A and B are shown apart, each in its own frame.
Chain A
Amino acid sequence: MSYEEILKIRRVQLLLALVTLSLLTMYVQDPPLSLGWDLSGGSELKVKTEHPLPYVTPDGSTVTMELVVQILEKRLNGLGIKDFSISPWGKQYLIIDFAGTDPEQARELIERQGKLVVKVGNRTAFTGAELVRIAPYTKSLSTGKWQVPFTVSEEAAKRFREVALLALRDAGIAPENVTNFEALARDPRVPWVEMYLDDVLVNSAPIGGSLWQEFIVAGKAPRDLVLETGSDEEAEAEAKSVEVVLRSGALPIKLEVISVSSVPPELGMQFARNAAIAGFFAIVSVALVVFLRYRRAGVVLPIIGTGISEVIIILGLASLIRWDLDLPAIAGIIAAVGTGVDDQIVITDEVLLQRGYSMRSRIKRAFFIIFSAWFTTVAAMMPLFMIGMAALKGFALTTIMGVTIGVLVTRPAYARIVEHLFGKTKKAKRRKRKR
């Protein structure tokens, strides 16, 4: 039995064609395989919305998943996060992946709904919806504090002035009698401007003397205002966060971050490398076990060869459909190949040990067992794939893909190889004996 003859078997040709195609796919695709964040390094956030979407708010507007995604996109862009992906999952969940390994900042940004309310005394002057322009955050030259400058609509500015004057009267001060505006700004009876973000007071400051002068004397309502956060490092981060949140607009629904994961690239690469090395040594040790059992290279080589082909074809398919390979997916590949080796042992034993029957019936019997095993594996994996615990979908997919490629392509090819190797040897021996 020469190798050329094996290469002439249809099934083997199909197997080799698929292996070549898979290698080609990986060669053409850039990168050849897309790795999940847990292998390439990166972060993943799982987010839950307060209500299932679409949701009609008490005031009658409809909140859709698309809207939430849009706002989150703006926020992540604003934070300077590159290569992120936001995938809605079901009606109430979103999964956010990105390359950075410091997910805390992104998490804070997502957990903030971003409802800005500006009050003087206990009256609301305006809300975040009335902001028409938000400038990049800066450090104030005069106070040394971090601040986010913004512009409000004309009506909002007017209302701000009215509310401020009302507050003044509430405090028992008649605006028309005020002469010293700087003293007014420092007067403890005069209420301050309070800025609330999601019901948390983020900035409270007195109205300055010059602003009072404009309000009272000129009767004007200036539209450019600032929100100050403080002067330390934390205040800078806060200013940046506030800017991004205000710019993206308020989220129409509360979001809860229910899971945060991150893996540094070095650790991810170590996981990936170790998994690959483990796969290699697993194949070597399985080859050893198979050799100890059968003592023939003729059995070991095809088992190992088809096993490796299977890995290549699964990877090729994953590359083709751009499936992110994560650790569970790798476990799935290992499981599929493990099942493959088991099936090949079944084929080998039927062929080698049941000599009393025709080759066709021996192969048929082996495949009865193999198909039963395939049905049950797919049946056992289907619920996981359908329930779709997002993290384990990859595992279910690679396992189902692997065992299916197995029964359709690699097992038949292996069966034909074994059939030729051992079926014909017998006949050849008989022929020799006759001579």
Chain B
Amino acid sequence: MSKLDEFLAMDIRKFMVLPVAMLIAGIAVVVTGYTSGTLPMSIDFKGGTLLIAPYPGEGLEEKVAEQLAAELGYEVKTRVVSDAFGNRELEIFINSALSSTEMKRARKALSGFGIPEDSVASDIISPSLGEAFFRQAIYAMIFAFAFMALTIFLRFRTFVPSFAVVLSAFSDIVVTLAVMSLLGIELSKGSLLALLLLIGYSVDTDILLTTRVLVHREGDLVARIKRAMETGLTMSITTFTAMFVLYVVSNSKVLDDVALVIMIGMLVDIINTWIQNVGILRWYVERRARA
């Protein structure tokens, strides 16, 4: 008997504590983060300025931040990003949407560090646009989730299994958001894309599981779950691997955010699908058998 068989032979329901605790903690983190306004938000949603400049040289990033803060009178943070080929850029975050005269001054200040004015990428978002984006993002998430749930209920037409799939997707999103918040990963255009994708990836494995267990009912339950698990884990691992490569190789903020958040989501999904959803389905099938 392999480790997996041993694991599946056990009463998996007692492990349900893990996903349930995870979901409750996740909701707590997200709700307190949202109400207290401490969820890390990128300038995409709160407005502000991001400048991307060629790396000015060892140890200069702090001086750049100080200089810009002194010149503009706003809070300035910097971060060094690098790709797999040794290219390095300095990302400069300014907590205000710069006006065109301020932007000219910022470019001039950067040129003092040997950064040519035309080599600086800029992204300025007004707070009102950021707010509008955030509202749209919330709508997109809610509708995406609702449409997905509707599709699942129409497809399986039984309440408990459909609910389990939707719960697993919900838990994936919430826990991923919570982990992002704890790790300080900002909610941005990229991470929004990732969360939307996560809805898709999350239900893929659940659909696989539910179909193998409920729709195509042959062989004993544990064997069906085990096969679904082999297939599903392969799917998750390939996705995780592809995102890992993307994260390492790419140096664009959007793609990095997408990759990182999907990686987190895939890990969360493994617990939600193979412990929580399996637990619910086993309970459901066994109860139905007894009835």
| B contact patch SS | helix
B200-246 CB contacts (< 8 Å) to partner A = 200-201, 203-204, 207-208, 211, 215-216, 218, 227, 230-231, 234-235, 237-239, 241-246
Interface size grouping (class) on chain A: 35 or more
Contacts of A149 in B (CB 8 A): none
B267 CB to nearest A CB, Å: 16
A305 at interface, CB cutoff 8 A = no
Known: A46-B129, A293-B234, A379-B151. Is A282-B242 also a contact (CB below 8 A)?
yes
A230 at interface, CB cutoff 8 A = no
Q: How far is the CA of A372 from the CA of B148 in the complex (A)?
A: 10
B277 CB to nearest A CB, Å: 15
- Of the stretches B15-23, B68-76, B137-145, B176-184, the one at the interface is B137-145
Contacts of B137 in A (CB 8 A): 389
- Of the stretches A200-208, A218-226, A267-275, the one at the interface is A267-275
B286 at interface, CB cutoff 8 A = no
Q: How far is the CA of A341 from the CA of B137 in the complex (A)?
A: 28
Which listed residue, B104, B151, B234, B250, touches A375 by the CB 8 Å rule?
Answer: B151
Contact B234 A281, beta carbon cutoff 8 Å: no
B125 at interface, CB cutoff 8 A = yes
Contact B203 A334, beta carbon cutoff 8 Å: no
Contacts of B103 in A (CB 8 A): 104, 260
B218 CB to nearest A CB, Å: 7
A263 at interface, CB cutoff 8 A = yes
Query: What is the count of residue pairs linking A and B with beta-carbon distances less than 8 angstroms?
Result: 216
Contacts of B109 in A (CB 8 A): none
Closest to A41 in B: B121
| Number of interface residues, chain B, beta carbon within 8 A | 74
* Chain A residues within CB distance 8 Å of chain B: 46, 48, 101-105, 107-108, 111, 256-264, 266-267, 270-271, 274-275, 277-279, 281-283, 285-286, 288-290, 293, 327-328, 330-332, 334-335, 338-339, 341-342, 345-346, 349, 353, 356, 365, 368-369, 372-373, 375-377, 379-384, 387, 389, 391-392, 395, 399
* Chain B residues within CB distance 8 Å of chain A: 52, 83-85, 87, 89, 100, 103-104, 117-126, 128-129, 133, 136-137, 139-140, 143-145, 147-148, 150-152, 155, 189-190, 192-193, 196-197, 199-201, 203-204, 207-208, 211, 215-216, 218, 227, 230-231, 234-235, 237-239, 241-246, 248-252, 254-255, 258
11 A-B pairs (CB sep. < 8 Å): A259-B125, A267-B121, A270-B251, A271-B250, A285-B245, A342-B238, A345-B231, A353-B231, A368-B215, A369-B207, A379-B147
Given A278-B248, A286-B241, A345-B235, 14 further pairs, Cβ under 8 A: A104-B104, A264-B120, A274-B251, A285-B244, A289-B237, A328-B189, A328-B190, A332-B193, A341-B235, A349-B230, A372-B151, A379-B151, A383-B144, A399-B197
